[in-house]
Amino acid sequence: MKKDNVIFLLMLISGLIIGSYLGSIAVIVPWLEWLNYGKTIGLTQPFVLDLGFIYLQFALHISFTIAGIIGMVIASIIFKFIRR
């Protein structure tokens, strides 16, 4: 993987995390509640593997919100200007 691709992926993930966090804070303001609207996808029940001596539990939930998507778009725009 190229260095630019890794940096771009990290910036997208950072934008998603920061945007989702800001969206969860925006719920306090009544006219910004729409930023926290989204969908969660993933495993509803965790996958469990019990081998007697080790117990493994795996679950994955991904939550997309409007604020997170806006954060990803802003991160990609910032990456475009940084890359120049």
64 vs 23: CA distance, rounded Å: 11
Per the prediction, the chain carries an average pLDDT of 91
Q: Where does the pLDDT of residue 43 fall: very low under 50, low under 70, confident under 90, or very high at 90 and above?
A: confident
Note the pLDDT of residue 77: 95
Note the pLDDT of residue 19: 93
What is the number of structural domains in the chain?
1
Q: Which domain holds residue 40?
A: 3-83
Note the pLDDT of residue 16: 92
This prediction has a pTM of 0.77
